[in-house]
Amino acid sequence: MTTFPRTLNLLAGAPLGIFGAGHLGRTVACCLVDASFPRTQLLVCHRGSQRTQEQLAQAGLAGNIVDNRELVRRSGIIFYIVRPQDAGAITACPPPAGTLIVSFMASIPLARLRELIPGCSFMRVLTSAPDTLAQGRGIAAIFPGGKAVVDEILAAIRVRPYVLRREEDLHAFTVLGPCLPIALTCWEVRAGAADDQSLLRLGTRHGLPGYRHLLQWAREVQPRGQSPDEPGRLPHQVRYEGRGNGGYS
């Protein structure tokens, strides 16, 4: 019995395309294969660097690499996993009208995506770090909700979804979700444990569903046994706080 019945039914034989093969793109591709997504229905494209080519080959995905145009032309669903500064990369080969594009980019709102890629269906997914996904301990914010195939895919690769009510809440999720584990560790080694009750109030105030579970996740995955004085391990200063105007630092 397939793990992806809704997804494969929607694709109707077409591939799922992963546009962008950086660390997150490669991790998502590997998670899909590990969850028994049909390798023959998975395509990956990247900008053509030899290093990326070698990393995909090491991950067993050499046979899934195609160029951008072929991926966009053939894919029924596209996971758009590029850096925000490369948001326009797909405009050189516009997808067919009606294609579902799942953007994993921070900072690029749906309105901008619709301008760049008119005629397609969109949703945004913001995940925790690739290592948490690889360990089956990932989380992801979703906006808007209601796409059963995306729910199915995230469940299959063991990513816990958080459906947000407003697109702007993605900013709060980023700070109080994926960015929180390293901040917790930094606080602990420099100033003692963070105040969970204050964090819970902050998460609730900014509309994050089930924030108690999100905070528990951050505690479970936060880095352990690291010193802030080890070069490259922890930032010298991390400060996360909600500001009155809705921003974060």
Chain segment 87-118, per-residue pLDDT in tens: 999 999 999 999 999 999 999 999 999 999 99
Nearest-angstrom CA–CA distance, 219 and 181: 6
Nearest-angstrom CA–CA distance, 34 and 160: 17
Binned at pLDDT 50, 70 and 90, residue 13 comes out as very high
Alpha carbon 223 to its chain centroid, in Å, reads: 20
Architecture of the CATH domain 5-163: 3-Layer(aba) Sandwich (3.40)
pLDDT score at 225: 63
133 three-class SS: helix
Each domain of the chain, given as residue ranges in start order, spans 5-163, 166-249
Mean pLDDT of the chain: 88
pLDDT score at 240: 37
Tokens of 121: 């269906």
Only one residue has tokens 């690889």, namely 134
147 three-class SS: coil
Binned at pLDDT 50, 70 and 90, residue 1 comes out as low
Binned at pLDDT 50, 70 and 90, residue 186 comes out as confident
**Residue 242 pLDDT exceeds 90:** no
Question: Mean pLDDT, to the nearest integer, of 47-69?
Answer: 90
Q: What does the angle CA 147 – CA 152 – CA 155 come to, to the nearest 5 degrees? A: 125
